[in-house]
Copies of this chain bind each other. A is one copy, B any other.
Amino acid sequence: MPSDGGKGTGRQVGRQGMLGWQAIRDEALRRIHAREWAPGEMIPNEADLAQEFGCARTTVNRALRDLADAGFLDRRRKAGTRVALTPLRKATLEIPVISQEIEARGGTYGYALVSRRLGAAPIAVQNRLGLPAGARLLHVCALHLCDGVPYVYEDRWVNPVTVPGILQIDLGRINANAWLVQNVPYSRGELALSAAAADDAVASSLQCPASTAVFAMERITWMGEAPITLVTQYHAPGYRLTTSI
């Protein structure tokens, strides 16, 4: 992600026409695309570039770090900085909070609990979460609505060992995700996007024919080493997740 950040230039007027770290980033990017710095090739070190641009090494570091974050450069101590062989593009996509996504579109958010049951999870789920066989999980299925129309069908498994409080929550009133973000500290997670054919449960909830192609977003979140939840959200047909590159 080219952090882009502030437009404040804080330009240095001292020497030439320097304009800040963004100017250095842009010039470096130009050289990369112009093949002046070829893929896989090492570029000058920070100290040399600082001298060339007439600025402090810190400023060069800022610019090159930004390009490395964006995937254009590979940087390693001692090994130096190289132009990435794979000019892989990175896109930052914002994981929408469904209720906010709907309200941002001017719709009215609705929520309905479909099922809630505590019991042994399927092997596949246990494996995905790294839990021992026979682990008991809370299985919650729910529907998110936009102006009364089905928007997302959600199939969720929650580990009550990690978040015991979830068992006392009236999930008919409170969205499981809303409760979790409010009550579980920062956690890392994995995200997987795919296309799926709607099974009977999904199709009936989303009011579409069985086997319709639906967009699936699966998330697993962890608190430290302990798994919290595995949730798969099936979006109503036509859904598009967009971002800019």
Contacts and interface: CB of A to CB of B under 8 A. Distances in A.
Nearest to A29: B186
A16 interface: no
| Residue from the set A5, A77, A181, A213 with the largest chain B CB neighbour count within 10 Å | A213
A20 interface: no
| Total copies of the chain | 2
Interface string A1-43: 1010110100000000000000000000110011000000000
Nearest to A234: B195
Contact of A96 (B88, B185, B215): B88
B240 A95 contact: no
Given A3-B69, A91-B191, A188-B245, 12 more contacts: A3-B65, A6-B77, A88-B96, A89-B189, A92-B92, A93-B191, A190-B243, A193-B193, A193-B241, A193-B242, A195-B239, A211-B211
Interface string A102-139: 00000000000000000000000000000000000000
7 contacts: A3-B69, A191-B245, A192-B242, A193-B193, A194-B239, A211-B211, A219-B245
A204 interface: no
A77 B216 contact: no
A91 B220 CA distance: 13
B77 A94 contact: no
Contact of A88 (B3, B8, B95, B213): B95
Contact of A92 (B1, B33, B86): B1
Interface string A59-77: 0000001000101000001
Contacts of A241: 192-194
B89 A245 contact: no
B95 A191 contact: no
Given A190-B242, A194-B240, A1 B213 contact: no
A155 B195 CA distance: 18
A207 interface: no
A193 B235 CA distance: 12
